[in-house]
Structure 1
Amino acid sequence: MRKFILLIACIFGVTAFSQIKVLKNETLVEIGKENSVGLYKKDNRFTFNYQDVNTSNLNTFRSFSFLDVNGDVSELYKLVTDGFIDEPTGNVMLELPNDIIELHYEKNYGQPTVQFIQFINKNRKYVGKSQFLNKKQIDKIFGIGTTKAALYKKFVPKANTVTTYQNTQNQVAETPAVTKPADSKKKSRK
């Protein structure tokens, strides 16, 4: 009888004081990934994850995150790709809530590339660097050419339209912008 009670006590004791707890699975949506650099989304927070080439340990992965408040992801993509067309004279510095990011442009084998340099917790002492990426790799990371780019792109109205309305046949029609000639005075005849 003692052994039976001891066995029951051990079984209930193990289940009552277990250290493993099942957590909810957070859903991260992968926007795009190229080699060791990826862009992920959860709700309205975007995270860049990259392998740090600045450390001797090649298994070091770092990340930086920010909220997409006013189309910030689209603006970041535009900023990065504009640097391929017109290479800036120095590094482009971006301040995030927790980190400072520098975009370092350099030509490798005659091809323009960019490297993300992260100052962790806005401290110049702790630096992480991504690999150099070309335009094609940046497009893949941002999901350009796939349906995943729609997860962050905002609708931008065309420049030549004023308003969009829905007519009675449920088709969208656009009213073109009206321009006046500079000098439209008519001469009166007497």
Structure 2
Amino acid sequence: MKKGLTVIMFLFCAMTGFSQIKVLPTTPLERLGRVGVSDIYVQKEGDTYTFFYKNIENKEDINIRNFSFKNVENDYENLYKIIIDGFNASPMYDIKLELPNDYVWLHYTKTTAKTTVQFMTTNKVTSSTGISEMMNIDDVKKLFEKS
């Protein structure tokens, strides 16, 4: 009986000793398409898509900028369609998108050789801005993992 009481006391002390540590559920992080080494890439966490890009607005500032949104009503595929449709628009114009935390402009440029698009972002809270590298239509397909 004395040994049983000792074992119970030991287990009780052990349980209270570890009660400060909790294992929290996590959602896996999935890196999707990318352009360049790490110039622009997409990351998925649960139903949230985040686009990361090197800011070329200030060459001395090597910060990575990002914008994200939840995939409500197939928004990830809709963004792809909006970008691709912009390559074929006539006349060509910038497209302004409002996301939960950011404004994103799809800035299209057409030269004799090719048409490109850039992300130009402004954060609604911090007012920080950023501009991505230019992407051609093949880069956009690679970013969204389309063939």
**What count of residue pairs does the alignment treat as equivalent?**
122
Q: CA deviation at 1:34?
A: 0.7
- Secondary structure (helix, strand or coil) at the match of 1:65 reads strand
8 Å Cα contact 1:51/1:58 also seen in 2: no
Structure 1 position 131, deviation (Å): 0.5
Unaligned runs of 5+ in 2: 1-23
The reply to whether residue 33 of structure 1 matches residue 10 of structure 2 is no
Identity of aligned residues (%): 32
Matched residue type, 2:75: D
Task: Please give the per-residue CA displacement for 1:68-87, whole angstroms capped at 9, x wherever unaligned.
Answer: 00000111000000111125
Q: Which has the higher contact order (CA 8 A, sep 6+)?
A: 2
Query: Could you tell me whether the CA contact under 8 Å between 2:33 and 2:41 is conserved in 1?
Result: yes
Going from structure 1 to structure 2, the CA distance change for 1:60 and 1:87 (only over 3 Å counts) comes to farther
Q: TM-score, normalised by structure 1?
A: 0.59
Distance 1:105 1:68, change over 3 A: same
Q: Show the counterpart of 1:52.
A: 55
- In structure 1, give the amino acid aligned to 2:43: Y
Distance in 2 of aligned mates of 1:139 and 1:87:
21
Relative to 1, partners in 2 of residues 1:99 and 1:85: Cα closer, same or farther, differing over 3 Å?
A: same
SS state at 1:93 partner: strand
* Inter-CA distance 109–27: structure 2 relative to 1 (3 Å threshold): farther
> What are the Cα deviations for residues 91-113 of structure 1, in whole angstroms up to 9, with x where unaligned?
21100011100000002452010
- Greater CA radius of gyration, 1 or 2? 1
| Residue of structure 2 in register with 1:63 after alignment | 66
The letter for the 1-side match of 2:52 is N
Q: Deviations over 1:22-63 (max 9, x none)?
A: x98863211101110001101000000000000132521111
**TM, length-normalised to structure 2:** 0.75
2:143 to 137, 141, 149: 141
